[in-house]
Chain A
Amino acid sequence: GAVVSQHPSWVICKSGTSVKIECRSLDFQATTMFWYRQFPKQSLMLMATSNEGSKATYEQGVEKDKFLINHASLTLSTLTVTSAHPEDSSFYICSARPETGTSGDLWNEQFFGPGTRLTVL
């Protein structure tokens, strides 16, 4: 249980185009989803926190107009990188936190997706 998927697993796009990445919780409902960015040989850096049905909360230094986040349902969050540039090339990873009230120890954990490799030419 507690599986998170991401689509696509990798994408190559031209500079100036927009790219949408999906994050889905497959077997649980996620109150909160998180988007991280990881540059080569570096750690995961939290970009934003999204709650179903409300606006995302962005970390300091992350442009909300460039990285659009939509969390329309309890199982799906999307990250759209608008007007992508080569410096946006990175590994984008989402995680999902089960809905409050989930039994057992799952409710307090984040479950990570497999990541999406974005390359902007």
Chain B
Amino acid sequence: GQQLNQSPQSMFIQEGEDVSMNCTSSSIFNTWLWYKQDPGEGPVLLIALYKAGELTSNGRLTAQFGITRKDSFLNISASIPSDVGIYFCAGQIGTYKYIFGTGTRLKVLA
């Protein structure tokens, strides 16, 4: 099935560092979402973006909806050990169907 490409696939960072990851697609989406998934659990919504160019923050997280509507990025500032997990972007097709990205696996070294 269709997937969005995320980069990097995985990353190790030191606690306190900033993290940046992005998501690209060949298709246009009307909504972009970022989720975090811990091992053995379902994904949890971090940020939802509804307009091209929109920049939205949620605590230490900031995400932007690309102006072309084909990409989005997520930044995490001052990372902490509990930020470890897998981050997925998702694009919404039509009214409610989601297509998920390939995921970015984040490991934070204390």
Size bracket, chain A contacts: 20 to 34
Check if A93 sits within 8 Å of B42, measured CB to CB: yes
Check if B88 sits within 8 Å of A43, measured CB to CB: yes
Check if A46 sits within 8 Å of B41, measured CB to CB: no
Size bracket, chain B contacts: 20 to 34
CB-defined contacts of A61 to chain B, threshold 8 Å: 1
Which residue of chain A is the closest to B45 with respect to CB atoms?
A109
From A59, A105, A111, give the contact of B1 (CB < 8 A). A59
Count of A-B residue pairs with CB < 8 Å: 53
Check if A110 sits within 8 Å of B42, measured CB to CB: no
Asked whether any CB of chain A lies closer than 8 Å to the CB of B11, the reply is no
From A110, A113, A114, A115, give the contact of B98 (CB < 8 A). A110
Check if A43 sits within 8 Å of B96, measured CB to CB: no
Check if B88 sits within 8 Å of A109, measured CB to CB: no
Which residue of chain A is the closest to B41 with respect to CB atoms?
A114
Asked whether any CB of chain B lies closer than 8 Å to the CB of A25, the reply is no
Given A44-B88, A46-B100, A114-B41, 6 more A-B residue pairs with CB atoms under 8 Å apart are A43-B103, A45-B1, A95-B98, A109-B45, A110-B96, A112-B35
Some 20 contacts from A to B, beta carbons below 8 A apart, are A4-B42, A6-B42, A32-B96, A42-B102, A43-B88, A43-B101, A45-B1, A46-B98, A59-B1, A61-B1, A95-B42, A95-B98, A105-B48, A110-B96, A111-B45, A112-B35, A112-B42, A115-B41, A115-B42, A117-B40
